[in-house]
Amino acid sequence: MNKIIKICAMFLVVFSAANTQAQSAFTLKEAQDYAVKNNISNQNSQLDYESAIAKKNETRGIGLPQISGSFDFKDFLKIPTSLIPAQFFGGKPGEFLPVQFGTKYNATAGISVSQILFSSDYIVALQATKGYLELSEKAIQRTAIETKASVAKAYYGALVNKFRLQSLTTNINSLKTTVDDMKIMRDVGYIENIDVQRLEVTYNNLQVEKDKVEKLIGLTEVLLKFQMGYDLNQPITLSDTLSTNQLPAEDLNDASKANPSNRIEYEILKRSTDLQKLNFKRNQYSYLPTLVAYGSFQKNAQRNTFNILTEGPPWFPTSLIGITLNVPIFDGLQKNYRIQQAKIDYKKSLNALKQFEQAATFETTSAQTTYNNAITSFKTNKNNIALAEDVLKTVQIKVKEGVATNLELVNAETTLTTSQINMYDALYNYLVAKIDLDKALGNIK
């Protein structure tokens, strides 16, 4: 049996390690889901929600019976002295005799209960805690949306840089072949050494650019790990790939159909406005009376010897029930001014909601314009690469045939590299613009 248990434990360890290793590779969707669970901001939002649940239960508990017990013990080192008229005992009128009443030891044990029968503050507080809980839920969604957008931008940043590295590697290998061919032509005296050196300068510059991109990939991956809440010291693999042929040729989103109410920010502001309205109502209801029922039961022991907890004279019971009605009459107009303040806060929250509707419309229009420009820019730069590649091929052929100068070849190589850099920048700008537009339209959930 022990051997079987050990074998099962080994399988569990291996299976766990395999899962851990598999988790190092992420698609964009997987990276976003991982971030929603592990990003610190998302975890704090979840904790705020749990705190809101506890607050709701705390408020609800105010309306439940409040029960408390008590025990009081007194040892009179000096029993209190009272004065009684001396004439009660045959003395002269106007004279008093000092006497001591009571016992040295006194103890009181009891239990008391109170119950709110009516309180406007309590009724509104219950409604407010429900609204606050909904607000916390919306805050979780907003944080998740922000996290998903940030992860997507970091993920695409890393992918674009990997794409750029592949292109640079291809260019470097192609240029290396050209440089080797030019060296052969130089050795046979067909061209001068300066022609080879010019190409070598371009080749070296591409190597430097490749080193920069490699370091930039590492930096973007660290940024992605940070946004995901992933261990910065652990390797990560991006499972998704990019293809310039997958990108849309035209705009697929219509900002005119945008509705600010689809935005999570609108829902949060709406909940905040509802809470302000409840606060206004609470202050209006503060003129209503409160009604509380209560009751208590006590027993009292009085002894001259210290035997409170042992057998002795009986404990004397006392019990009562009652109702307290508290009616506000005049408070120096404090409630009136609190109502005015709450009303102003409510109006401000309505203005904030209206302002967001205008801002959301502007943001969507701006995001749509940026998105359309990004598509146009990407298509233009993509076409430029095709043109630059054709020019380079033509110049390479002419150089070999001796009808073009080496300087033209260097210029063609530089033009292609510049076009590729511009295309990758346009590609990343398009991806970021797409994320911003989806966020503005409320498409990210």
Same domain? 104 vs 50: no
Residues 6+ apart with CB under 8 A from 168: 206, 209, 210, 213, 420
Q: What is the pLDDT of residue 107?
A: 92
The 10 Å Cβ neighbour count of residue 255 is 19
Asked if 113 and 65 count as a contact pair (C-beta separation under 8 A), the reply is yes
Q: Is the pLDDT of residue 151 over 90?
A: yes
SS3 390: helix
pLDDT band at residue 248 under the 50/70/90 scheme:
low
Same domain? 222 vs 284: yes
**Distances in Å between the alpha carbon of 329 and those of 52, 109, 280, 286, 289?**
35, 37, 20, 11, 10
What tokens appear for 19 in the block? 């899962």
User: What's 46's domain CATH number?
Assistant: 1.20.1600.10
Asked if 205 and 410 count as a contact pair (C-beta separation under 8 A), the reply is no
Q: Is the pLDDT of residue 1 over 50?
A: no
Q: Each residue of 370-385: b (16+ CB within 10 Å) or e? A: bbbebbebbbebbebb
Q: What is the pLDDT of residue 17?
A: 40
Same domain? 275 vs 343: yes
Nearest to 283 by CA among 327, 342, 331: 342
The residue type of 136 is: S
pLDDT digits (tens, 9 = 90+) for 204-217: 988 898 898 889 88
Same domain? 188 vs 320: no
Same domain? 272 vs 404: yes
Q: Is the pLDDT of residue 290 over 90?
A: yes
Q: Is the pLDDT of residue 181 over 90?
A: no
Same domain? 271 vs 396: yes
Same domain? 43 vs 151: yes
Domain end position, chosen among 306, 327, 348: 327
Same domain? 159 vs 50: yes
As a whole number, mean pLDDT of residues 134-152 equals 91
pLDDT band at residue 155 under the 50/70/90 scheme:
very high
Is 5 inside any structural domain?
no
- What is the pLDDT of the chain when averaged over all its residues? 85
As a whole number, mean pLDDT of residues 53-63 equals 91
pLDDT digits (tens, 9 = 90+) for 124-137: 998 899 888 989 99
Nearest to 434 by CA among 248, 188, 284, 265: 248
As a whole number, mean pLDDT of residues 404-425 equals 82
In the chain, how many domains are there? 2
Same domain? 181 vs 320: no
Q: Each residue of 350-368: b (16+ CB within 10 Å) or e? A: eeeeeebbeebeebbeebb
pTM exceeding 0.85: no
As a whole number, mean pLDDT of residues 253-259 equals 66
- Which range, of 16-20, 24-28, 92-96, averages the lowest pLDDT? 16-20
As a whole number, mean pLDDT of residues 346-362 equals 92
Q: Is the pLDDT of residue 249 over 60?
A: no
pLDDT band at residue 341 under the 50/70/90 scheme:
very high
The 10 Å Cβ neighbour count of residue 198 is 19
Domain limits at 308? 67-117+289-327
Distance (Å, whole) CA 428 – CA 390: 24
As a whole number, mean pLDDT of residues 208-235 equals 90
pLDDT band at residue 19 under the 50/70/90 scheme:
very low
Is 219 inside any structural domain?
yes
Q: Is the pLDDT of residue 334 over 80?
A: yes
Q: Is the pLDDT of residue 260 over 60?
A: yes
Is 132 inside any structural domain?
yes
Distance (Å, whole) CA 81 – CA 84: 10
Asked if 374 and 429 count as a contact pair (C-beta separation under 8 A), the reply is yes
Same domain? 240 vs 349: yes
Residues 32, 36, 40: CA angle, nearest 5 degrees: 125
Same domain? 167 vs 214: yes
